[in-house]
């Protein structure tokens, strides 16, 4: 059965970083700094938050004060996510890092995004 996927468009730089990380983790997991893995996952999460949460608020005309409050909340959430990732990813074995590459690849769909929907 085909799965429905929820995703977001990403910029070319993040696209390149994801592809490189998947390859590097599969080919030489011990050479990949764990901090680089953490930062990539944070950047992927941030892109998703901005696309699925912040973008619609702007499109709906939510006021500056409310958006600022939400931005502060998202920054707090990202700190918690980073802390949790550091505890897990910071201690991955090479075998686990290779498996992480599979999870990254599973969450990554190059060339599949159509033009993002336009909110009017």
- Please state, in angstroms and rounded to a whole number, the distance separating the CA atoms of residues 94 and 32: 10
Q: Greater confidence, 48 or 3?
A: 48
pTM: 0.83
Task: Record the tokens describing residue 30, joined without a space.
Answer: 């011990």
Q: What are the backbone dihedrals phi and psi of residue 79, each rounded to the nearest 5 degrees, phi first?
A: -65, -40
13: confidence class by pLDDT, cuts 50, 70, 90: very high
* 40, 47 Cβ separation under 8 angstroms: no
Q: Is the pLDDT of residue 112 over 70?
A: no
Torsion of CA 65, 67, 72, 77, to 10 degrees: 150
- The predicted pLDDT at position 6 comes to 76
* CB proximity list for 81: less than 8 A, separation 6 or greater: 42, 45
- Please state, in angstroms and rounded to a whole number, the distance separating the CA atoms of residues 30 and 106: 21
């Amino acid at each position: 059965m085909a799965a429905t996927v929820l995703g977001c468009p990403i910029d070319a730089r993040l696209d390149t970083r994801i592809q490189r990380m998947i390859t590097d983790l599969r080919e030489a997991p011990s050479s990949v700094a764990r901090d680089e893995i953490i930062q990539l996952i944070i950047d992927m999460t941030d892109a998703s938050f901005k696309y699925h949460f912040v973008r619609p608020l702007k499109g709906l005309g939510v006021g500056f004060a409310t958006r600022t409050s939400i931005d502060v909340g998202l920054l707090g959430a990202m700190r918690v996510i980073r802390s949790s990732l550091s505890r897990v990813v910071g201690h991955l074995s090479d075998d686990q890092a290779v498996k992480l590459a599979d999870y990254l690849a599973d969450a990554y769909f190059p060339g599949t995004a159509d033009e993002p929907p336009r909110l009017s």
